[in-house]
Amino acid sequence: MDIISKLTQEFSLKSWQTENVVKLIDEGNTIPFIARYRKEATGSLDDQTLRSLSERLDYLRNMEEQKRKICESIEGQELMTDEIKNAIENAATLTELEDIYRPFRPKRKTRASVAKAKGLQGLADAVYAQMPDGKTPGELACGYLNDEVTSVEDAIAGACDIIAEMISDDPAGRKMIRYSCKNNGSLVSSGIKEDLGVYEMYADYSEPVKSVAGHRVLAVNRGEKEGFLKVSVDFDKTVGIGILKNLHIKNDSPSAEMVSRAAEDAYVRLIFPSIEREIRNALTEKANESAIAVFAKNTRQLLMQPPVKNKITLGLDPGYRTGCKVAVVDETGKVLDTAVIYPVPPHNKVEEAKKIIKDLVKKHNVQMFAIGNGTASHETEVFAADVIKELDCGISYMVVSEAGASVYSASKLAAQEFPEYDVSLRSAVSIARRLQDPLAELVKIDPKAIGVGQYQHDMPQNQLSRALDGVVEDCVNSVGVDLNTASAQLLNRVAGISSAVAGNIVAFRQENGTFTSREQIKNVPKLGPKAFEQCAGFLRISESENVLDNTAVHPESYPAARKLLKLCCVSDDDVRNGRVDAVKTYVKTIGTSALAKELGIGEPTLMDIAGEIAKPGRDPRDELPAPLLRTDVMGMEDLKVGMELKGTVRNVIDFGAFVDIGVHQDGLVHISQITNRYIKHPGDVLKVGDIVTVWVISVDVAKKRIGLTMKAPEKSNGN
């Protein structure tokens, strides 16, 4: 297989793009580095495309290795033919390869192998030949009686087993049945318990295999695993058996009748159970891929939420019996103060709690409240809103997701970061920091614990982790990292920096003080030339005398950037103070093509350099809509059908989106209520963090369910 040609075709690329990407990957370059600093070589492919291409490259190379091993095995058995070799070379999937290899794979003990050991292969071959004028199966069987085969019936039964396995091993029959089952079969489930709970809708469920939605596949799988459902693939048996008979029955001889029985046995006992497993595995694999893609997309959007910068923030980790933990952090996330208050049941020490919060606000000039959305969140939100009203000093608040906060608080990492605080107070610090900089705080948590997907615990964990780790890496590198303030966990997500090197950077910083240039990081133990090449452009040093050290311009492009600044008569101080209009004017006047040639770089690199000079230290998240902050609170009981509200999208899933409308319980906007036009997936029009206008269409306080729509209601004309 020509892997380059296949990848080129699958990703709709030019062959030079594919060749360059594969070469760059093989040279050990990271995806973020290739995406950002090798645009000329890749044709400016983005990180997600590059990651997909890299995964597909691994798959195809694995398949080539499997082909090599299969060829070696068949040649070792001295059974290789040109036809088999061509079939192996032309196989497009691992499933096709398995079908080809099936007859040659060393088998465990089967009914057919037992019959062969009794010397019945010759009888099976003679019957399968179906000679029109030959002997009947009974007459043929007489020649194969021995000490182990004492009757004609035993001989015929053994030969049937051998023929059934021969038919089962035939790739053509399997391929045709698989195709027919995929296109005409149905995924079905039935309830096997009295109370099915959340699986009630799957008590008598059937949907075509070719169109079943991924989230329903995952739902019935979970129902089956938990013992509530029986799940299978329904397919017309007569069609499958008919396919086999058309392939293997040659005439209407007496032997043909025996082959017909063997074909039925092969289908029922060997082929259909195998294909049913394949189809269900394929459905699950596709559903997992889709769910992982949604999870990854949601995680990317959550991590890239705009930070609320330069605000002294008070974090509240709600709780009933153990109280509400409080932490005040400064603009950089440094802990200034902590406390525990008891404003909600069973303690109800409201006035005492108010005094503590007001004192903290005045003492530290607090500007924002961040409230965790866990247990007692709503009551704490009501309390906080009352305090804000009484203070009347322009404070607003936001309810932030606590997902993973408890995992982080009890982790070894949190203990190292805050040895002086107990687990609950660490959680309050984390909640405050999540509002200030979601990315910097959430990288400390296993991405799976962030909770913006569906059925994440049912997915292949390695595959999910790989996808989410890729997302975190891409997000961190697209934003950039302040080398003098970043935690080891954040540094570990920078391209080319391992956990050991990240620890060494922090240790070096603590021992030698702040970094004053990118060149200085070459002195960090174990950070070699390759690691420097990969990571340097993603690290920011605002304290550096060289203004380019606080941009995404890579050190390898400094000479070109310096030449551009000189041509434009722009100094480092001009860049720091935003006096860079001359650069934009010069690039426009000379033209990108001519200027890039003069500077000895590609046009994409020129445009990136010019963009970075225009905004040194820029954060791409700042260009996104700011998060929705609140000053007042409502409860579910305050909601009325038809009410218009502003909300924040918290999770996008296959069948809709959950929106935080400020009542503690997120409302569901079903996919049919998102827009008046047809959409394949809610993610086509919504993303985590979007601020949307919604209208209430249903409220069930008992079940804690809120139905929302994004379709504006028609206004009455007054008639």
Work out the angle at residue 430's Cα, subtended by the Cα atoms of residues 424 and 435, and round it to the nearest 5 degrees: 140
Q: Which pLDDT tens digit goes with each residue over 678-716?
A: 999 999 999 998 889 999 999 998 888 999 999 988 765
List the structure tokens of 67. 């082909």
DSSP secondary structure letters along 9-62: HHTT--HHHHHHHHHHHHTT--HHHHHHH-HHHHTS--HHHHHHHHHHHHHHHH
Structure tokens at 530: 């390759």
Q: Which two tokens stand for residue 353?
A: 């709690």
Digit-coded pLDDT (tens) for 30-66: 999 999 999 999 999 999 999 999 999 999 999 999 9
pLDDT of residue 719: 45
**Nearest-CA neighbor of 287 among 369, 238, 219, 223?**
219
Amino acid in the structure at residue 704: K
Note the pLDDT of residue 423: 83
Mean pLDDT of the 258-264 span: 96
Please return the burial class of 390, using the count of CB atoms within 10 Å of its CB with bins 0-12, 13-18 and 19+: exposed
Average pLDDT, the chain: 92
Structure tokens at 111: 């009914």
Contact (CB, 8 A) for 481 and 494: yes
**pLDDT tens, residue by residue, 363-384:** 999 999 999 888 888 889 889 9
**Residue 448 has what pLDDT?**
78
The helix or strand, by DSSP H or E, that contains position 300, with its residue range, turns out to be helix 272-303
Q: Which long-range contacts (CB under 8 A, 24 or more apart) does 560-567 make?
A: 560/599, 560/600, 560/601, 560/605, 560/606, 560/609, 561/609, 561/613, 563/599, 564/595, 564/599, 564/606, 564/609, 564/610, 564/613, 565/613
Contact 252, 133 (CB under 8 A): no
Which phi and psi angles does 305 have, rounded to 5°?
A: -60, 140
206 or 487, which is more confident?
Answer: 206
